[in-house]
Structure 1
Amino acid sequence: MHRDLSRIRIKNLRLRTYVGFNDEEQEKRQDVVINIRIDYDALAAAQADSVERALDYKTITKQVIAHVENNRFLLLEKLVNDVLELVLAHPPVRHVEVEVDKPHALRFSDSVSLTMSASREG
């Protein structure tokens, strides 16, 4: 029997950071909304009901919060890529997709978002 990877979703993580290159964006923190999809093999954790074998998404989330809130980003692309690489640094992660929304970035629009994804080779 073949089993697909399991999927963890961290939904609507609302943080504040400096993002953008305009003067106003550099002087005032802005809201960002982060969604992360993580695929990993959860079968061993599920079968053993073992915390030690499960992906520690709480630690990943804390790392994302600290990184986003304690840094400045000229580009949304940089912010998204940093989060992507931070998550992919955890060995059990096989695939990750990160979307970051910047609410009210454009007049007449709810938000602007950027999505990037990456998979571990092998």
Structure 2
Amino acid sequence: MARTRDRITLTGVRVRAHHGVFDVEREQGQEFVIDVSVAIDLSAAASGDDLGRTVHYGELAEAVVAAVERDPVDLIETVAERVAAVALAHPAVEEVEVTVHKPEAPIEVPFADVAVTIVRGRA
């Protein structure tokens, strides 16, 4: 099976959550910014103008937010895995790339962003 080049991408989904290693992160929470790009063959959806043949990006965005908001974990790597699992739950998704940004990370030097990116596909 050839790898599809079609993608649906959500960029900059903002979620307030309580992930992190430090107590202050768990207590006060912070903003996380999520980028999700799913590889999916869009030709059938486009040719038939059929929402049922694609991934509804509004529903995907809501599912991503729910996955990030739920029970706190230490690592943004774990958050990224959760988001990838949500995307791959859609049968039409072949692969997903997830970036979790933590712009308020507790780092003692000036920085613009901290992020983890993972790519997952079907087994």
**Which TM-score applies when normalising by structure 1?**
0.90
User: Residue type of the partner of 2:115?
Assistant: S
Cα distance in 1 for partners of 2:5, 2:51 equals 17
Map 1:34-113 to 2 at 5 A.
Answer: 34-105=34-105, 106=107, 107-113=109-115
1:103 & 1:57 partners in 2: Cα distance? Answer: 24
1:20 equivalenced with 2:20 (yes/no): yes
Q: Which amino acid aligns with 1:112?
A: V
Equivalent position of 2:8 in the other structure: 8
Is the contact made by 1:5 and 1:39 (CA closer than 8 Å) also made in structure 2?
A: yes
Aligned to 1:114, which of 113, 116, 123? 116
| Paired letter, 1:63 | A
Mind listing any 5+ residue stretches in structure 1 that lack a counterpart? none
Query: What are the superposed Cα offsets for residues 28-81 of structure 1, whole Å, 9 maximum, x if unpaired?
Result: 111111000111011111111112212222111111111212321211111111
* 1:72-108 Cα deviation digits (max 9, x unpaired): 1211111111111111111100110000110031231
Count of paired positions: 120
Alignment root-mean-square deviation, CA: 1.6
**In structure 2, what residue type is equivalent to 1:74?**
D
C-alpha separation in 1, matches of 2:78 and 2:90: 19
Structure 2: unaligned runs, 5 residues or longer? none
Equivalent-residue separation in structure 2 for 1:24 and 1:3 (angstroms): 43
Cα distance change of structure 1 residues 47 and 3 upon mapping to structure 2, 3 Å threshold: farther
The answer to which structure has the higher strand fraction is 1
Distance in 2 (alpha carbons) for counterparts of 1:68 and 1:86: 10
Percent identity between matched residues is 34
Query: What amino acid maps onto 2:97 in structure 1?
Result: E
Contact residue 5 and residue 42 of structure 1 kept, 8 A: no
